[in-house]
Chains A and B, each alone.
Chain A
């Protein structure tokens, strides 16, 4: 199994970015801004963010902004909070949030809060606790949480808590590790973790670890590298990370690398992609793997980036 193939992964990320000729890469163009966040955050954790031309990235990204203030996934695409958070996070990595019209962006996000405290993802009204997290995380990074009703936002998230201690996308929806990360992250950012039964949720989360050491996102599912991030970050935020076997998980992630061409896949032997490469590296960072920058479990950005923004270092 061996080590994390840092140089190979850097090369993989830089070449994925250039691939514009295969059907597989073209049909992802509507979420290119998410891809930029995954790739660039990985590079930063690996200490290689300077391998990209930040002016080029930022000037492309600003063309994805809509007049409403929200960002589309690429130039000419409709805005959605999913891409707006990625844009803010990428600018945070480059310490360039000031290129934004912060009021405009935060008004866009705040305008999507509903009466019951929930958030829509865009003007078409789909509601999801993921969007609650995105709104809260974005506004915290922009220092404009005052533009929304935080208490109602928190109450809505709490209303999505299930009897097993987990959270789903809407009230009564099945618990899912990705949704749990969003809900716990949003509660952590707003200082509302007292709403979580930590032992009960920790119990559900640590039961996600399967024999191979990998984590799944729901009962009976196969382990998947991306859940290393969602389950692990949640366990850290509720202070129960000692309930899983960290060594086995590290081995599972390292076994999912493509050691020849770089990149990490969902589980050993599968094809790699940028999404799982990010979650694998971010997971290893949470596991304090040597040589990696520490990542913040709630903001999903390197700790130094978050500190610079929130406490001016």
Chain B
């Protein structure tokens, strides 16, 4: 309608054609003009060499503001502003007309004018195609343009076809591949999954694919709250079996990314789900034992990581959670029990606390070299034990509480992290 006279709408059309011709584009990059011409030159030569073998991978270098090959798309930064303006203008115009037509159709439906309403519905579906095309370009350039995501929701939920929802997952994945924190892209994903859940109740496969998607993305985008929150959100859709398998699968990743608190929180979420699903009255002794073993395994694993990776806050915080829930759910206070004579029985709360104190002491020595990490380790271990004693106070026998208070713990805290010793005073007052 606007015609070819406007150069920026030509650029828009060109990009829309590229995107239409390759629905599998999975990476987009914005390239500085100097790098861009080099890329074109390089590819130009490889284009000649490779022409015989693989015609399919021929690079698209027309007009030299776009470059695409092997499902990768490069856009010259010189084109960004005119492209954005053209896409926004076209999109806003399309949704304006769409709203006018949708309203007028609503009115005409009552008057039963068959011809006119058929005509309107054709125009509406043309506009829907336009909205999808223009919003896609707009979102590639401005990932949190909420109105563009919203109108995509309007169109796909009207048509209600599974493959369209799948396309939305692809677009959101494409946007997230270079804007991994885009709030709107994550929201759109959740909305799509809820719609899919309404159409096909068996979500297991989708959940598994999503979980893998987040893990891959988290590799490139460290400590990404929104990404992990998305994975965490999936937990509510998981079967018991899936929860266990996620716990297994995420362990190696966590061990390689010990500073990523979000991953450890994800494990907390999984562990809590397992704990909540465990009905103490109903469950047999064997499942109680396996739950306890699972917890013990996690405690041992984190202790190993703490000793291997010195001074990592996320590990100590994970241990706070594990130890507190261990004390609250798996230990007994009966110290006259015959078990208590057994020194390795972590189920006896005194034995358990003794172990934790020892761990703390062993982490409080600071060698002369590598001072900073060991200083951090000492601080985390001292605040760990203080935190644990405070939070577990209600579950500890009075004598043990007294013993801990009289213990040299206080001196340790004052020596290791004098700036945190006020925490000692507050927790002492609260017991």
Whether B191 sits at the interface, judged by CB under 8 Å, is yes
When the two chains form their complex, are residues B422 and A243 in contact, meaning their CB atoms are under 8 A apart? yes
Binds A, one of B118-126, B144-152, B359-367: B144-152
Q: Which residues does chain B contribute within 8 Å of A206, judged by CB atoms?
A: 423
Whether B187 sits at the interface, judged by CB under 8 Å, is yes
Q: Which residues does chain B contribute within 8 Å of A163, judged by CB atoms?
A: 268, 321, 324-325
When the two chains form their complex, are residues B391 and A220 in contact, meaning their CB atoms are under 8 A apart? no
Given A27-B84, A174-B232, A245-B419, check contact A126 B324 (CB 8 Å).
no
When the two chains form their complex, are residues A26 and B146 in contact, meaning their CB atoms are under 8 A apart? no
Whether A62 sits at the interface, judged by CB under 8 Å, is no
Q: Give chain A interface residues in 255-297, CB to chain B under 8 Å.
A: none
Q: How far is the CB of B118 from chain A (nearest CB, A)?
A: 29
Whether B387 sits at the interface, judged by CB under 8 Å, is yes
Q: Which residues does chain B contribute within 8 Å of A164, judged by CB atoms?
A: 317, 320-321
Looking at chain A, what size class is its interface with the partner chain? 35 or more
Bound-state Cα–Cα, A239 to B147, Å:
40
Whether A302 sits at the interface, judged by CB under 8 Å, is no
- Contacting residue for B81 out of A23, A124, A176, A245, CB 8 A: A23
Whether B260 sits at the interface, judged by CB under 8 Å, is yes
Closest to A31 in B: B144
> B-side binding surface: helix, strand, loop or mixed?
helix
When the two chains form their complex, are residues B314 and A220 in contact, meaning their CB atoms are under 8 A apart? yes
Q: Which residues does chain A contribute within 8 Å of B77, judged by CB atoms?
A: 23
Whether A76 sits at the interface, judged by CB under 8 Å, is yes
Bound-state Cα–Cα, A172 to B426, Å:
27
- Contacting residue for A30 out of B145, B232, B260, CB 8 A: B145
Chain A CB within 10 A, most for which of B229, B260, B268, B422:
B229
- Contacting residue for A220 out of B84, B150, B223, B229, CB 8 A: B223
Chain A CB within 10 A, most for which of B77, B190, B194:
B190
When the two chains form their complex, are residues A220 and B147 in contact, meaning their CB atoms are under 8 A apart? no
Bound-state Cα–Cα, A206 to B422, Å:
11
Chain A CB within 10 A, most for which of B147, B190, B391:
B147
Q: Which residues does chain B contribute within 8 Å of A21, judged by CB atoms?
A: 81
Bound-state Cα–Cα, A9 to B145, Å:
28
Q: How far is the CB of B203 from chain A (nearest CB, A)?
A: 18
When the two chains form their complex, are residues B317 and A219 in contact, meaning their CB atoms are under 8 A apart? yes
When the two chains form their complex, are residues A72 and B147 in contact, meaning their CB atoms are under 8 A apart? yes
Q: How far is the CB of A294 from chain B (nearest CB, A)?
A: 26
Bound-state Cα–Cα, A125 to B193, Å:
13
Q: Which residues does chain A contribute within 8 Å of B228, judged by CB atoms?
A: 174
When the two chains form their complex, are residues A125 and B84 in contact, meaning their CB atoms are under 8 A apart? no
- Contacting residue for B262 out of A125, A126, A174, A243, CB 8 A: A174
When the two chains form their complex, are residues B142 and A30 in contact, meaning their CB atoms are under 8 A apart? yes
Q: C-beta contact mask, A200-238 vs B, less than 8 Å → 1, else 0?
A: 100100110000000000111100000000000000000
Q: C-beta contact mask, B392-431 vs A, less than 8 Å → 1, else 0?
A: 0000000000000000000000000001001100110010
Q: Which 5 A-B pairs have the closest CB atoms?
A: A174-B265, A27-B142, A219-B261, A78-B147, A126-B187
What are 11 A-to-B residue pairs whose CB atoms are below 8 Å?
A21-B81, A30-B147, A77-B146, A78-B146, A122-B146, A126-B187, A163-B325, A172-B235, A203-B387, A218-B225, A219-B261
A→B interface (CB under 8 Å): 21-23, 26-27, 30-31, 72-73, 76-78, 80, 122, 124-126, 163-164, 168-170, 172-174, 176, 199-200, 203, 206-207, 218-221, 243, 245
- Contacts A27-B84, A27-B142, A200-B390 known; list 13 others, CB within 8 Å: A30-B147, A78-B150, A80-B146, A124-B153, A124-B187, A124-B191, A126-B190, A163-B324, A172-B272, A173-B229, A199-B430, A218-B223, A219-B314
